[in-house]
Amino acid sequence: MKIAVTSKDFERVTGHAGQAKHWLLFEVPDGGGEWWVDRIILTKMQIFHHFMDDAPHPLDGISTLVAISAGESFLNRMRKAGIDAVLTAESDPHKAVADYLKLQLSPPKPPPIGELICKLHDALSKSR
């Protein structure tokens, strides 16, 4: 199982998944065992918000995506692609993955006012 986690500094789970450039990619063996973790840095055109190509993507094959925050349209886009996109308040990437696997991932915090402004901006820019 491949789980991608947004992480601007590769130490904490971060938000704005659709705009995220830095990711931790966890490969969890079926049946348990030691995890393998890789650091992924996307180019501008590979960032999900910009990526519209059918070309291969560095995060192809993930089954789950974990972030602190993401827009509803991004979450829906991931779910349509068969990716379980989940949000959490957990900031430790390893704990977030472990909690996800145990079905105990902490829910996200309510969005701050800045995120609501971003959602409004996204909604208005898509209506043009």
In the chain, alpha helices (H): 72-80, 93-101, 113-126
Q: Grade residue 8 by pLDDT with cuts at 50, 70 and 90.
A: very high
In order of 15, 47, 52, 53, the CA distances from 125 in angstroms are: 21, 18, 17, 21
Q: Report the domain count for the chain.
A: 1
Residue bearing the bigger pLDDT, 121 or 71: 71
8 vs 24: CA distance, rounded Å: 9
Q: Examine the pLDDT at 111 and tell me if it is beyond 70.
A: no
CATH of the domain at 11: 3.30.420.130
- 76 with 82: CB under 8 angstroms? no
Provide the domain limits for residue 45. 2-126
pLDDT digits (tens, 9 = 90+) for 58-79: 999 999 999 999 988 889 989 9
Q: With bands split at pLDDT 50, 70 and 90, how would you rate the model's confidence at 31?
A: confident
